[in-house]
Amino acid sequence: MLTLTCFEIMKIVVLTGAGISAESGLGTFRDKGGLWDEYKIEEVATPEAWLKNPELVLNFYNERRRLNNLANPNQGHYALVELEKHFDVTVITQNIDNLHEKAGSKNVIHLHGEILKAKTEELSEKHYPISGDIYLGDTGEDGKQLRPHVVWFGESVPLLNTAIDHVADAKIFIVIGTSLNVYPAANLIHYTTKNCKSFLIDPNRVQTRVKNIEMIYEKASVGVPTLVNKLINTYK
Ligand code: NAD
């Protein structure tokens, strides 16, 4: 049982993956029928793919953006907004969709980028809001081709250290809907301190070497609201 001193607002860090958006109609990558059944990672989500066939890469992400625009948050996303009303919550998401923001979450760190932003091949810090398709020939202010603001496999993760600092500060760490197969994001779970209580919500068994973690075998739409209610009733 965690103890709190008076007036301290407990810091809760949440790590989400594709699974939290599955019930909103956005496919995960590794589940049966997931995106990697349809596409090969190396053909659409790597710098090499971009050099070889940028049109295919743009089409793949244009399709992701169209689906994102049609999707709505589910009870899992909304429960995290409720959590924010009671605790100091930071959501670290591996997702490129904007469903946490659409639900109303305020502190969201997109480790792997955002589908509703573009940047140029120059990889400058400048990001362009984008809600429609990107085509070959679309350029940024530097005259270079626009690409999605997404971290591809093999690229560095600029927000990793910020995410690590949040996890190291957490009193409660909640992992939702990630196979913990994509690194370095999967390593975040190892940065919790020994006083931190951790939970993992996923309908399927997720392999992890972390021992002190409470497994909740539920879909996000059920498991997240249940855990959020439990945390509010226990600590508020
Ligand atoms: P993953 O596909 O590897 O794993 C998804 C996990 O979600 C699995 O463990 C699965 O059991 C679980 N899951 C399935 N349905 C669920 C549900 N209803 N509720 C809770 N959990 C459920 O996804 P990942 O670990 O996030 O890694 C894949 C990478 O692909 C990430 O980098 C992510 O950015 C990217 N991705 C993003 C989106 C998105 O933005 N919505 C979609 C697909 C992939």
Whether 77 is catalytic is no
Instruction: Give the separation between CA 230 and CA 236, rounded to whole angstroms.
Output: 10
DSSP for residue 85: T
Q: Extract the tokens encoding 228.
A: 């959020």
Residue with tokens 């909304």: 78
Q: Is the CB of 220 under 6 A from ligand 1?
A: yes
Q: What is the 19 CA–ligand 1 centroid distance (Å)?
A: 4
Identify which of 28, 68, 152 to mutate to test ligand 1's pocket (most ligand atoms within 8 A of the CB).
Answer: 28
- Cβ–Cβ < 8 Å for 144, 136: no
Among 223, 231, 99, residue whose Cα is nearest residue 170? 231
Determine the atom of ligand 1 nearest the C-alpha atom of 220. Answer: 19
Among candidate residues 77, 100, 112, 149, the one labeled active-site is 112
Instruction: Give the separation between CA 176 and CA 19, rounded to whole angstroms.
Output: 7
One-letter amino acid at 182 equals V
The widest CA-to-CA distance across the chain, in whole angstroms, is 58
pTM, entire model: 0.94
pLDDT of residue 2: 59
Q: Is the CB of 219 under 6 A from ligand 1?
A: yes
Query: Cα angle at 178 between 129 and 130, to 5 degrees?
Result: 10
Among 32, 151, 37, 30, residue whose Cα is nearest residue 93? 151
Q: Is the CB of 45 under 6 A from ligand 1?
A: no
DSSP for residue 187: G
Give SS3 for 150.
strand
Q: Is the CB of 114 under 6 A from ligand 1?
A: no
Instruction: Give the separation between CA 161 and CA 183, rounded to whole angstroms.
Output: 13
Per-residue tens of pLDDT for the chain, all 236 residues: 555 554 579 999 999 999 999 999 998 877 666 666 677 888 999 999 999 999 999 999 999 999 999 999 999 999 999 999 999 999 999 999 999 999 999 999 999 999 999 999 987 789 999 999 999 999 999 999 999 999 999 999 999 999 999 999 999 999 999 999 889 999 999 999 999 999 999 999 998 888 889 999 999 999 999 999 999 999 97
Instruction: Give the separation between CA 116 and CA 194, rounded to whole angstroms.
Output: 37
In the chain, DSSP assigns E strands to 11-16, 88-93, 108-110, 113-120, 128-129, 146-150, 172-176, 197-201, 213-216
pLDDT of residue 124: 76
